């Protein structure tokens, strides 16, 4: 969770930002979440019921300290929703599955680009969504998926 306890200027565009960021983190205390919240991080892909979406929207709209905490955090999108919901009455209703088919077998920090050879794995998974496709690398997968979904 160091990503949210330290200050990050990655989203700003000015010369010397990483030096300033390093100095800020040397002289500043660790950031602490307001409301005695415990931080949670997870995928930035999620599905919310209307009730949960409204709860998150109201929290973000009305709790300026919470929003300010994440303003200078790297990858805040992977923490905001999870932290709000896991510190709420909805905690017990959360299903830890984003129903995304993502193949990380390529190694590195990017998922494999899916193609026609991945079709069987895709349709046999319980996933509702998939990542990552590239039209110019393998357009056949789109035709196969269209045929499968319309048959």
Q: What is the pLDDT of residues 24-57, one digit of tens each?
A: 999 999 999 998 999 998 888 888 999 999 999 9
Residues 89, 107 within the same domain: no
**71 and 24, same structural domain?**
yes
Helix (H) or strand (E) holding 131: strand 129-131
Residues spanned by the domain of 115: 100-150
**Do 78 and 111 sit in the same domain of this protein?**
no
Do 20 and 74 fall into the same domain?
Answer: yes
- Please tell me the predicted confidence (pLDDT) of residue 11: 87
Q: How many CB atoms lie within 10 A of CB 118?
A: 19
Long-range contact set of residues 89-95: C-beta below 8 Å, sequence gap at least 24: 90/52, 90/55
The reply to whether 86 and 122 lie within a common domain is no
Residues 143, 136: Cα–Cα separation, whole Å: 13
Cβ of 45: how many Cβ atoms within 10 Å?
13
Quick one: 12 and 58 in the same domain? yes
Q: Does 50 lie in the same domain as 118?
A: no
The whole-number average pLDDT for the span 53-74 is 93
Q: pLDDT band for position 1 (50/70/90)?
A: low
Q: Are 18 and 9 in contact (CB under 8 A)?
A: yes
Strand partners, 51: none
**Could you tell me if 74 and 116 lie in one domain?**
no
Please state the domain count of the chain. Answer: 2
109 and 125, same domain (yes or no): yes
Do 123 and 67 share a structural domain?
Answer: no
pLDDT per position as a tens digit, 106-122:
888 899 999 999 999 99
Same domain, 57 and 9: yes
Question: Residue 112: what pLDDT?
Answer: 94
Residue pLDDT, tens place only, 87-143: 999 999 999 888 999 999 988 889 999 999 999 999 999 999 999 999 999 999 999
Same-domain status, 16 and 65: yes
């Amino acid at each position: 969770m160091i990503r949210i306890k330290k200050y990050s200027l990655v989203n700003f565009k000015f010369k010397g930002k990483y030096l300033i960021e390093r100095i800020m983190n040397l002289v500043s205390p660790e950031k602490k979440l307001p409301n005695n919240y415990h931080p949670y991080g997870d995928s930035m892909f999620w599905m919310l019921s209307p009730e949960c979406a409204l709860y998150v929207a109201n929290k973000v709209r009305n709790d300026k300290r919470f929003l300010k905490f994440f303003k200078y955090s790297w990858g805040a999108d992977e923490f905001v929703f999870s932290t709000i919901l896991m510190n709420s009455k909805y905690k017990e209703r959360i299903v830890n599955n984003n129903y995304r088919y993502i193949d990380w077998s390529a190694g590195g920090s990017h998922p494999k680009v899916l193609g026609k050879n991945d079709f069987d794995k895709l349709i046999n998974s319980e996933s509702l969504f998939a990542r990552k496709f590239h039209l110019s690398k393998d357009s056949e997968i789109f035709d196969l998926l269209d045929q499968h979904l319309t048959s």
